[in-house]
Structure 1
Amino acid sequence: MAFAAMGCVQLGLAASIGLAGSLGSEGVAWLRLAWAAVILVAFARPWKLKFTRFTLGICALLGLATAGMTLGFMKAVETIDLGTASALEFMGPLAVAIIQGRGAGRWWALVAAAGVLGLTEPWNAAADLRGVLFALGGAVCWAVYVLLTQRAGDAIDGIGALAISMPVAALAATLVVGPGVIGRMDVQVLAIGFALALLLPVIPFSLELLALRRLTTAAFGTLMCLEPAIAMIVGLLILHQIPRPAAVVGIVLVIIAGIGATRTGRREPIKPLPTADGPELSLDGTAEIRG
């Protein structure tokens, strides 16, 4: 499920980049989020689920983080390669893993830093600074998402958390970019947007939620570390983006750092969450859902 989710993510991003040429990156991001919200609400029917104020608040924050990830990443790939943008955005969950790491685990931050240098090559100004900043902004949002997702996923059955967070993300994106892109929509674009929303984020988000319930922290985190490499391969095969040698080394270093940090990481004990039915729900594991 985790591999399928990562494949859907990168294929969806590659297709989104193609559509961005006519609709704009912000338009594609908004369209995906809007359709995803409609699909998830229709499928999960959140009005039939029980929420506490706490879980609703967590889901709302997840929605804001999702909007930030989606808009930031789409703006990043306007000017930098898909593999580079994915690796830079991966700094978010990697930073969480390093901060929560034990002892020597935090030394993986140096490996990750070396990877970032290889990806951006600041001595040559190889990577567009604007694109790098957007990707790092997406990384911050992803880190927030990592810290919140498991709480929502464990407190709410099925994909109920997504049925709340995705409409919030769509609303946030509408407030930010909606007025400038809604007028550019037609039937064909809407149909393409529906297909893109299934490919990213509906299917991968749902698969990752299910995978988180079946895999250990280390196993899931290690699998997710492979996403920058998958992004580089998709960018090469579909978008014909040939990575620079330093960028290839940088992506490899980021993957190594991610695997090392995940293997030495831990989740701090947290208080049980209140549920709508009254009993407390204890939590185990961690979360690294891609948005």
Structure 2
Amino acid sequence: MNAPRNSLASTLFPVGLLMIAMASIQSGASLAKTLFPVVGAQGATTLRLCFASLILLAILRPWRARFTARSLRTVFIYGIALGGMNFLFYMSLRSVPLGIAVALEFTGPLVVALYSSRKILDFVWIALAASGILLLIPIGQANANLDLTGVAYALGAGVFWGAYIIYGHKAGSDNGIQTAALGVLIAALFIGPIGAFHAGSALLDIGLLPAALGVAILSTALPYSLEMIALTRMSTRTFGILASIEPAFGALCGLLFLHEELSLTQWLAIAAIILASAGATLTSRPDSPQLVPAD
């Protein structure tokens, strides 16, 4: 009797960790959005990356890893992709509901998963994702309630997310988990001047410290740690399939914390993108980069 229970527990444990990680990421994004009136999306991105880099540097101590010129170049690109992804995502949140922004951003890793696909089924996922995107983008609608500039920011974040997956995979293969701390530091140095220019001395407001730390922990430190534990207990393909429901977590967090209500059409569009992402991961080649939460 104990063996089936232990087997079930060992299966559900990493799934539970991944669910908590995704909820944490989107809760962190919701908290970050509350900082926008004070420091803007640019400043909120800077605060998140700076505090997250300090936390990860202390935990992972990347200076103990051995880097070559080639691996450092890969880590540099990885860090720029990470910074650009976070920056454009937060910029999109100024005018686009959280769930929709996550769904649009997911097109980046979806393209990576479908890259060089030759199977007929893969084109079904492409068509499904495209249908979801078209339902979300209010082109030609007289009473459009979705800002096209915000949509463009979210899609741009998806491009950086795709690069993040590709170069993060390469950088991780060279130096493992310690690469993440250096990548976040590079991202902070890349985005920091933009946030400082926009927000100025407001970034030094001590009253922002609890929220900034909360964003860094919820969006980076906690979910990253939980994801790493989950990955050691499940296949990357299973991980990718489960990660595909992250837009739903974004929509729910937006509803609960930011009171962002979506229409039935928007929920259906998000569902289409989730299904396309899960299907693409399920039918991808075993050595393909997997969809992973990163926001």
Question: In structure 2, what residue type is equivalent to 1:49?
Answer: A
8 A Cα contact 1:29 1:74, kept in partner: yes
Name 2:47's counterpart in structure 1: 31
2: CA distance, partners of 1:155 / 1:289? 21
Unaligned runs of 5+ in 1: 270-284
Name 1:94's counterpart in structure 2: 110
2: CA distance, partners of 1:153 / 1:209? 12
Give the direction of change, closer, same or farther, for the CA distance of 1:169–1:89 in structure 2 (3 Å limit).
same
Deviation of 1:63 after TM superposition, in Å, equals 0.9
Deviation of 1:23 after TM superposition, in Å, equals 1.8
Name 1:117's counterpart in structure 2: 134
Give the direction of change, closer, same or farther, for the CA distance of 1:30–1:170 in structure 2 (3 Å limit).
same
Name 1:218's counterpart in structure 2: 237
CA offset digits 1:21-78 (Å, max 9, x no partner): 2221111111000111111112222222222222222221111111111110111010
Alpha carbon RMSD of aligned pairs, Å? 1.8
Matches within 5 A, 1:58-137: 58-104=74-120, 105-124=122-141, 125-137=144-156
Which of the residues 284, 288, 291 maps onto 2:292? 288
1: CA distance, partners of 2:118 / 2:286? 10
TM-score (norm 1): 0.88
8 A Cα contact 1:120 1:126, kept in partner: no
CA offset digits 1:225-251 (Å, max 9, x no partner): 100011111111111111012101100
Name 1:279's counterpart in structure 2: none
More displaced 10-residue stretch of structure 1: 103-112 or 118-127: 118-127
8 A Cα contact 2:110 2:291, kept in partner: no
Deviation of 1:156 after TM superposition, in Å, equals 2.1
Q: Give identity over the alignment, percent.
A: 34
8 A Cα contact 2:243 2:291, kept in partner: no
Deviation of 1:207 after TM superposition, in Å, equals 2.8
User: Which has the larger share of helix?
Assistant: 2
8 A Cα contact 2:248 2:270, kept in partner: yes
1:44 to 2:44 alignment: no
Deviation of 1:179 after TM superposition, in Å, equals 2.7
Which of the residues 178, 191, 195 maps onto 1:160? 178
Unaligned runs of 5+ in 2: 1-16
TM-score (norm 2): 0.87
CA offset digits 1:210-268 (Å, max 9, x no partner): 43444323211111110001111111111111101210110010011111111111255
Matches within 5 A, 1:125-274: 125-157=144-176, 159-184=177-202, 185-266=204-285, 268=287
Give the total of aligned pairs: 275
8 A Cα contact 1:119 1:250, kept in partner: yes
Deviation of 1:120 after TM superposition, in Å, equals 1.9
2: CA distance, partners of 1:109 / 1:6? 24
8 A Cα contact 1:102 1:265, kept in partner: no
